[in-house]
Amino acid sequence: MSTATTHRQIFVNLPVKDLDRSVGFFTELGYRFNPAFTDENATCMILGENLFVMLLVEKYFASFVTKPVADASASTGSLIALPVDSREAVDAIVARAVAAGGQAPREAVDHGFMYQHGFEDLDGHVWEVLHMAGEPPQE
């Protein structure tokens, strides 16, 4: 008999080169940080209720892993997808990210049922912002 695995929280951990610079970038996008989980090595960015991103200075991040830390500016290891309430919100977040020093590596894509656009943060991590306006097509 199979039992479904579920979780009440998620903490995504990302390596960053300059913690203060990354905090400034994400503050410009409107995110807040939990001071209880913040020091010179890390901070806890709040995405929503029970949704967090730990931004860890690369050397500190490396202390948790056995493989080399990937350079997100040279390769993509993950896509962090963030649903929002409207197409306008997608465009607004990407515009704020670009204004704060990030990059939009490609144009927005309209799949009909889903509108998406994304940005790379200051370290090259890819954030896909999307709005679902319906169900995917059934084949």
Shared domain for 96 and 137, answered yes or no, is yes
In a domain, 117, yes or no: yes
Residue 9's SS3 state is coil
Classify the phi-psi angles of 112: left when phi > 0, otherwise alpha if psi is within -120 to 50, otherwise beta: left
User: What phi and psi values does residue 13 have, to the nearest 5 degrees?
Assistant: -110, 125
**Burial readout 125-136 (b: 16 or more C-beta within 10 A, e: otherwise):** bbbbbbbeeeee
Nearest Cα to 53, choosing from 44, 64, 62?
44
What pLDDT is attached to residue 111?
92
Please give the model's pTM, rounded to 2 decimal places. Answer: 0.90
Whether 69 is in a domain gets the answer no
Question: Would residue 92 count as lying in a domain?
Answer: yes
Question: Are residues 11 and 58 part of one domain?
Answer: yes
Q: What are phi and psi of 106, to 5 degrees?
A: -150, 170
Q: Please list the pLDDT of the chain residue by residue as tens digits (139 residues).
A: 678 888 899 999 999 999 999 999 999 999 999 999 999 999 999 999 999 999 999 999 999 999 999 999 999 989 999 999 999 999 999 999 999 999 999 999 999 999 999 999 999 999 999 999 877 777 7
What range defines the domain where residue 85 resides?
A: 76-139
What's the domain count of the chain? 2
> Alpha-carbon distance 42 to 106, whole Å?
30
Same-domain status, 84 and 58: no
